[in-house]
Structure formats: structure tokens, C-alpha cells
Amino acid sequence: MQTNRPLIVDLDGTLLRSDMLVESAFAFFRHNPLRALAPLSWLLAGKANLKARLAAEVTLDVTTLPYDKQVIAFLEREKADGRILVLATASHQSYAEAIASHLGLFDRVLATHGDTNLSARAKRDVLVREYGEKGFDYVGNSHDDLKVWTSAHKAYLANPEIGVEAAATRLGNVELVTRTPAHPWRAWMKQLRLHQWAKNALLFVPLLASHRVGEPELLLTGLLAFLLFGLCASSVYLLNDLLDLDDDRQHASKCFRPLASGAVPIKAALLVLPALLVTAFAGAAWLLPWKFTLALACYYTLTLAYSLTLKRIMTVDVITLAMLYTVRIVAGTFAFDVKLTFWMLAFSMFLFLSLALVKRYAELRESRSKGNTELTRGRGYYPGDLEMISTLGATSGYLAVMVLALYIQDLNTQALYRHPQVIWLACPLLLYWVTRTWMITHRGWMHEDPVVFAMKDRNSLVLGVLFAAVFWSAI
């Protein structure tokens, strides 16, 4: 039914499945890590000042933001019926106007500007002054919006926060409640990258190499280390995705990541991230050797540096990725209190450098297939670098095989195994796997992290069993 009352629409959490303040803050932190504390000083002058300073520093691509399609479809129907639509948001005016211009739905924009933070009571007061008490309808989702609904004629709730629907119902003017279909547990499992925890199996490599895998106490220690390392890694994935929101939305596949797409609420991520991190480090400090906690801290620091800067520096990025894999092995030696050997470090660095280059090659190949020739967004490579990357990657993989061959001749190895010459059978197996992995990547069939690919690939799993059987036969 057509009405002359304007429909006022909130932005953060309602029209947009994200929060512009959080997005701009993380974008600022990513591009200005040495000024990370500056927003705190801006906040001292008020929230409106903080939003204004961030808006002046950070430009966000509003065309790729995670808009709620269901809310937009509702607004389009209201617009077609002749309804006046007003965007009223606590986000800064520059962002609000850019979004309104992009969507082409709104007749007017009211937003935070100057000293006015247009939220809760401040928003209600402005709307009452402009349209009168009960002279407007309002679409919102948060506890702050309850203040506005007290003065609205009708309340429309879009994906309301916990407790909001019950509180709004008590006001007696709820007209419609809509919820976008979601699978929160599935989204969170994907966001926390639980499948990536498979990489933490590297923690057990030192235990296997020391031939002490049959000791139950060490196995329990390993499971605990696996869990705590996984929690730390998941917190890192959350932080990385918060920092990379804008880049991920420009990517063909990464745009579907839960945070980038809005499937995981950005405010919820801000609560889960520190909880995971504190649990990981507190558990490690309490239950495991201090050296393991140190290795965990090194992993987190290196990952943070990678997310902020190193991932955009040519060559440094892949070396850092190889180091992150190797840190897991080092952490395993600390957890089990076994010796860290030169052979183990050399083998892991060369092998994981090869896999890191596989990952870059796959990304660049996809970019070149689309006709791109410019510097890849967020990386330090051009699509034209493909041939050099494949050469470096295959060479690094073959060097890992050479390290394995030299390991067989070491006197300590001959003392550790009754039949060390049997380990030679592992060399052609590894040669085959490295070569096959690079051929698959060259043909454009590598669509995910190569370590995760190996965990799912039947041939890789068979080779892994044969590889382990060779070492078992040599004992």
C-alpha cells in the first residue's frame, strides 16, 4: 500500500552486512601499521571525529561491499510504489553518499558529519525534527535502533541482533521482520579455516623422526599442541581477512569468504579473534614447554608481518610462507623436547618454498588467463613472471629431494636406522610428487592451497603412505 511517510533505512548491519567504521579502521591499520595507535587519539575528540579522520585517510570501494540483497529487493519495491527512501546512518557522510550514489535508491542521505555522530538518540532526534514524531517508518537491526523505533510509526527489522526483536516487539509497532537465509556454523567453520588445521600435522614430524611416536604421553602432548596451534592459526586467518576485506572482494574466489561476503558478522569476528588468541597462548604457557610458546609467538608475529607488509613484497612473501610451515616443525621439536636437526630444517625450507611458489603460480596463471598484464592486486608479481616462478619452484622442490638423498649418507642417520639404504626408495617417490604437483599447477588444475590439495588428492595420499612405509621399513 502506498504511503506518504518516508522510509528511513539504516546502513551498518541492515542494508550492509558489515560495519563501515570497522572496515575503515582495519583498512587504515593495514596501510599504516606504524600509525596503528593514531585512531585512539582521534577517538579522544569524539566518535564523530574518529569517523571523519578515518574517512579522510581511507577510500573504500563501495561497489563491492556486501549489501543485503533481500533488503535491497524490499527497498526497490517500496521505491517503485513511490515511497521516499532516506539513508540514515552513523557511518561518515562521505561513505554514505558514495553508497547512495552507487545504489541509486535514496532520495536523501543523513549521516555522521561535523561533531554529530548520527546514532541512537541523535539519529532519532534528527528524524523527529525532520519528519515529526511518528512521521516516518524505520528499517534497522541493532539495539541502537530501538531508540529510533520509539518515535517511528512502523518498525521494520532486518536481520535483528540477539534480543532486538523481543525488545522491538514490546514497542508495539513492528510491521515486518526479515532474515537473510544463513548457515552460521558452516560459515564460521569456513572462516576459521578448520580444514587448514591439517597443516598442523607438521608438528608431529619431529616425533616421527625421533622414532618415539609410540609413547602415549608424547602423543597427548602432540594433540594439545595441535589444538592450540590451530586456535592461534584461526585467529590469524580472522585478522588476515579483516585486513584484506577490500582486496578479497576484488578477487574471483576470495570474494566468497565469509567475512568478505558478510556471511560472518564483522562485529562477531572482533570478539572471536582475541578469544582464540588468548586461549591459544594461555593454554600453551600453562600446559606446554615455554619454548613452544615462544615458537607460537614467532609464528603469530611472522604471520602478522606477512599480512601487513611481507605478502606484497616479491620473493619475500614466498620465503615467509615457507618459514611459516617450517615454524610448525620447530614448534613440534619444542613441544616434544626432541632434537632439531639441520636435515629437517633444510628439507622443509626447500620443499615448502616450492609449495609457496605453487600457490603464487596458480594465482598468477588465473590472472593471466583473464588477460591481465598489470601488477597483481595485493602482490608483488606480474602475470608475466609465471615462467620464472615455475623454474624457481620446481628447482626448490628438487633440492628438497637432494637434501633427502644426502640425509641418507649422514652418520647419525645410519645409526638411527637399521637399513638406511632403504630410504633411497623415498627419493623417486618425492621426485614424482613434486613433478606431478607442478604439472597439475601448470595445467591450471591447482585451485587451492597446495598442502590442502595434497590432503585431498588420492595420488598424494597414496604416495604419502608409501613414503611413510619406506621409512618404517628402514627402522
Q: Which residues contact 360 (CB under 8 A, 6 or more apart)?
A: 317, 318, 379, 381, 389
* Tens-place pLDDT, residues 284-328: 999 999 999 999 999 999 999 998 889 889 999 999 999 999 999
Written in H, E and C, the secondary structure of 407-432 is: HHHCHHHHHHCCCHHHHHHHHHHHHH
Where on the phi/psi map is residue 132: left (φ > 0), alpha (ψ -120 to 50), or beta? left
Q: Going by DSSP bridges, is the β-strand pair 108-112/137-140 parallel, antiparallel, or unpaired?
A: unpaired
**Stretch 241-261: mean pLDDT:** 87
Give the amino acid at 104: G
Interval 150-168 mean pLDDT: 95
Query: Is the predicted pLDDT of residue 1 greater than 60, yes or no?
Result: no
User: CA–CA separation, 141 vs 144, rounded Å?
Assistant: 8
Question: Residue 351 — pLDDT band, cuts 50, 70, 90?
Answer: very high
Q: At how many degrees (to 10) do helices 426-442 and 386-409 cross? A: 170
- 317's enclosing H/E stretch is helix 316-336
Write the pLDDT tens digit of every residue in 98-139.
999 999 999 999 999 999 999 999 999 999 999 999 999 999
Note the pLDDT of residue 2.
53
304-323 core/surface letters (b: 16 or more CB in 10 A; e: else): bebbbebbbeeeebbbbbbb
Say what the pLDDT of residue 384 is. Answer: 87
How far apart (Å, rounded) are the C-alpha atoms in residues 274 and 272? 6
Of the two residues 161 and 447, the one the predictor is more confident about is 161
Q: What's the pLDDT band for 465 if we cut at 50, 70, 90?
A: very high
> What is the percentage of the chain residues whose pLDDT exceeds 70?
99
Q: What is 7-178's CATH number?
A: 3.40.50.1000
Percentage, residues of the chain above pLDDT 90 = 71
Domain ranges of the chain: 7-178, 183-340
Between 421 and 127, name the one with better pLDDT: 127
Domains 7-178 and 183-340 share a fold: no
Please tell me the predicted confidence (pLDDT) of residue 428: 95
* Alpha helix segments (H runs only) across 244-315: 245-250, 258-261, 266-287, 290-308
User: Residue 334: its pLDDT value, please?
Assistant: 95
Alpha carbon distance 123, 332 (integer Å): 54
**Contacts for 77-80: CB closer than 8 Å, 24+ residues apart:** 78/7, 79/105
pLDDT of residue 250: 85
Predicted TM-score (pTM) of this structure? 0.86
Model confidence pLDDT, tens digit, residues 358-401 = 999 988 888 888 888 788 777 888 888 899 999 999 999 999 99
| pLDDT for 228 beyond 90 | yes
Looking at the predicted structure, is the pLDDT value of residue 270 above 70? Answer: yes
Q: How many angstroms separate the CA atoms of 216 and 389, rounded?
A: 43
What is d(CA 460, CA 465) in angstroms, rounded to the nearest whole number? 9
Estimate to the nearest angstrom the gap between the alpha carbon of 283 and the chain centroid. Answer: 23
pLDDT of residue 340: 81
DSSP state of 214: T
CATH number listed for the domain at residues 183-340: 1.10.357.140
- pLDDT one-digit tens code per residue, 162-217: 999 999 999 999 999 999 877 788 999 999 999 889 889 999 989 888 888 888 99
Q: Which letter does DSSP use for residue 17 in this model?
A: S
pLDDT exceeds cutoff 90 at 451: no
